Amino acid sequence: MASRDESAIAPELPAPVPPRGRLPMLEFFRTLRDNMVATYGEEAYEHDIIERKMFGRRRFLVSEPAAIKHVLLDNAANYQKTEITRRILEPGLGRGLITAEGETWRRHRRTMSPAFDHRSIMSYAPIMTAAAEELLADWSRRGADASIDVAAAMMEVTLNIISRTMFSSDSDRIVAIMERGAGRYQAEMRPNMLDFLGLPAWLAGLNRVRVAERTLGEFDTEIDRLIKLRSSNPENGPKDLLARLIAARDEQTGGGMTAQEVRDHVITIFMAGHETTAMAMTWTWYLLSQHAAEEAKLHAELEAVLGGRVPNSEDLDKLTYTRMVIDESMRLYPPVHTIAREALAEDTLAGGAVRYSCTLLLPSLRRRASHLHWSSLRHRRSDASARHHGAALPTAARGRTSRRASGPDNTSPPPWNENGACFARVGFGCDVSRFPTWPSAGLDSASGCR
Ligand code: HEM
C-alpha cells in the first residue's frame, strides 16, 4: 500500500539555508566553527558526490547511500579516521574506540564487547527509567506553568544515566565534574584553518593539550583515583561498567587493559554516549511539539503498551511507533551529522577516483533534503527492511564496527537500546505542549543540530 505523503501537510522545519556555490574562505571557516552543516552548499544536497580542493588537498562530500556503505562497510579496511578528528579528540579522549585504529581498535572492541552485548545493555534499563522518573518528578514539582530548558534537562538526564551505569554510587561527583568540563572541551576544540593547511599537529593545536588539561583535568584525577580504588579491591566494589572494563579480558590473548586505556574508554563512552542521546531526545520533543497528531499517536501507543507502568526492556520491541518517531527525528536532525574518513589507498567511489589520503565527508544528505519535513511512516519496519542498507547512517557505521570485531552483536541498533527506555518513560509521563518556550530551550533551531 502506498504510504501517505505526510510531507504534504507537515510544516517546514528549521534547517540551515545552504549557501549557493562555495563560501569565501574566511566565511567558510567562521561557519565551520559555528555549524558544520551550514557549510554544505545546495549542490551537496543534489549530487551523489562532490569534490572540493582546499590548500591543495582533495575532499569529497559523499551523499549516495551505496557509496557510504562502500566506505563504512564493504571496503572499510581502506578508510581510517581523519587526521583532523584525531587532532581534536586525542588531547582529551586519548586512544579510546573513536580514535583508535587497526589492531589496537580490534583488540579493544573484542575486550569490551561483552560489556555492551544486548543483555548487558538491557540490564542498564532500570537506571534509565529511574533517571526518567526523577526528571518527571522534578518537572511535576515545578508546576505546569514552569518554563523548562528541555535541552539542558536531556543533557542532565543522559549524563546521569551514563554516569550511574559507569560508576554507580560514585556517580554524583563525576556528573558535577563533567558538567563543568565536557561542554567547554567541545566548545573549544573546533577545527581551524591551521588544521586544513596541514601544519604539524603540535603547531596547529598548540593550545589543545592545555584546553584538555583545563577542561578534563579534574575528571582525570577523579577517574585515576577510582580505577586505583576499584583495582585494589575488585571483589568488594560495585559491579558497574567501570568494574567490567577493569576486569575485561581479550578472549584471544587473555590480556586486559592498562589504567590509561580504561581511562580513555571511560571518557570516550561518556562523551560519545551522553550528548548524542540528549540531542536525539531534545529534537524529538521539539518535533513532537510541532506535530500534534504524531504526539497523540505516540501517547496512544505508550498507553496501550505500558498502561501507566514503568517500561522494561521487553516493552521496547512492542513500541514500534515510538521507535519510528525516534528514527524520523534522527533522520531530520542526526546527532552525528557527518562521519569523516581518510583513504589509505586508491579506490573508486560513485564512478570517480579516490586517491591516497583524500578526505571523505559522509553527511548522508540524501536522507535529509535541505527543506525538512516530518514523515515518520517512512520508518515502518516493512519499509525499513526494503531501504538501502547504507541509508541508516549511524546504524551502518556502528554495524561496520561490530561486524569487524569478534564477540556478540547487538540485535537492536544502539540508539534505540540506549534511548528507548528513558524516552518511553518521559514520553508517557509528559505532554510536550507543556514546553511552550522552544527558543529558550537551548536549541539552535535555526541552524540545525551541531
Ligand atoms: C542517539 C544516540 C547515538 C548516535 C546517533 C550515535 C552515533 C554514532 C556514530 C555515527 C558512530 C560512528 C562514528 C565513526 O565511526 O566515525 C558512533 C560511534 C561510537 N559510539 Fe555512538 N551514537 C549514539 C549513542 C551512543 C552511546 C549511548 C554510547 C555509549 C554508551 C556510544 C558510544 C560510541 C562509541 C564508543 C563509538 C565508537 C565505536 C567504535 O568505533 O568502535 N554512542 N556513534
pLDDT in tens, 267-282: 999 888 888 999 999 9
Task: Kindly indicate the confidence band of residue 447, based on its pLDDT and cuts at 50, 70 and 90.
Answer: very low
CATH 1.10.630.10 fits 4-443, yes or no: yes
Please enumerate in sequence order all residues whose Cβ is within 8 A of that of 295, keeping only pairs 6 or more positions apart, or say none: 288, 289, 431, 432, 433
pLDDT in tens, 341-374: 999 999 999 888 898 889 999 986 765 666 678 7
Q: Residue 429: is its pLDDT beyond 70?
A: no
The residue ranking higher by pLDDT, 415 or 294, is 294
The residue ranking higher by pLDDT, 394 or 241, is 241
Q: Are 58 and 70 in contact (CB under 8 A)?
A: no
Q: Is 360 close to ligand 1, i.e. is its CB under 6 Å away?
A: no
Q: Residue 262: is its pLDDT beyond 90?
A: yes
The residue ranking higher by pLDDT, 146 or 110, is 110
Percent of the chain past pLDDT 90, that is, above it, reads 38
Substitution candidate for ligand 1 out of 113, 118, 336, 400 with most atoms within 8 A of CB: 336
Tell me which DSSP letter residue 4 carries: P
What does the angle CA 220 – CA 224 – CA 228 come to, to the nearest 5 degrees? 175
Q: Residue 404: is its pLDDT beyond 80?
A: no
Question: What mean pLDDT do residues 134-141 have?
Answer: 90
- Residue 361: what residue type? L
**Which pLDDT belongs to residue 395?**
35
**Which pLDDT belongs to residue 312?**
84
Question: What mean pLDDT do residues 380-396 have?
Answer: 42
What's the CA dihedral at 196, 200, 202, 204 to 10 degrees? -20
Q: Is 276 close to ligand 1, i.e. is its CB under 6 Å away?
A: yes
Q: Residue 407: is its pLDDT beyond 50?
A: no
CA of 97 relative to ligand 1 center, distance in Å: 9
Question: What mean pLDDT do residues 43-51 have?
Answer: 88
CA of 415 relative to ligand 1 center, distance in Å: 8
Protein residue with least CA distance to atom 33, ligand 1? 272
Please give the helix or strand (H or E) that residue 58 lies within, else none: strand 57-62
Q: Is 398 close to ligand 1, i.e. is its CB under 6 Å away?
A: yes
Q: Which of 333-337, 343-347, 379-383 has the largest mean confidence?
A: 343-347
Which of 133-147, 245-259, 265-279, 387-401 comes out lowest in average pLDDT?
387-401
**Which pLDDT belongs to residue 316?**
86
pLDDT in tens, 172-196: 888 889 888 888 888 888 888 888 8
- The DSSP-derived string for 229-249 is HHHH-TTTS--SHHHHHHH--
Q: Are 84 and 340 in contact (CB under 8 A)?
A: yes
Q: Is 415 close to ligand 1, i.e. is its CB under 6 Å away?
A: yes
Question: What mean pLDDT do residues 273-292 have?
Answer: 90
Q: Is 399 close to ligand 1, i.e. is its CB under 6 Å away?
A: no
Protein residue with least CA distance to atom 15, ligand 1? 397
**Which pLDDT belongs to residue 446?**
31
Q: Report how far residue 351's alpha carbon sits from residue 118's, in angstroms, rounded to the nearest whole number.
A: 38
Mean pLDDT of the chain: 80
Give the β-pairing of 347-349 and 339-343: unpaired
Which among 321, 292, 327, 354 has a CA at the least distance from the CA of 413? 327
Q: Residue 406: is its pLDDT beyond 50?
A: no
The residue ranking higher by pLDDT, 377 or 102, is 102
Q: Is 339 close to ligand 1, i.e. is its CB under 6 Å away?
A: yes
Q: Report how far residue 439's alpha carbon sits from residue 306's, in angstroms, rounded to the nearest whole number.
A: 32
Task: Kindly indicate the confidence band of residue 397, based on its pLDDT and cuts at 50, 70 and 90.
Answer: very low
Q: Are 329 and 280 in contact (CB under 8 A)?
A: yes
Q: Report how far residue 339's alpha carbon sits from residue 343's, in angstroms, rounded to the nearest whole number.
A: 13
Grid cell of 329 as nine digits: 527525528
Q: Residue 400: is its pLDDT beyond 50?
A: no
**Which pLDDT belongs to residue 441?**
33
Residue 80 has φ and ψ, to the nearest 5°, of -130, 170
Which among 300, 292, 291, 290 has a CA at the least distance from the CA of 321? 300
Grid cell of 416 as nine digits: 534505540
CA of 105 relative to ligand 1 center, distance in Å: 14
Question: What mean pLDDT do residues 301-324 have?
Answer: 88
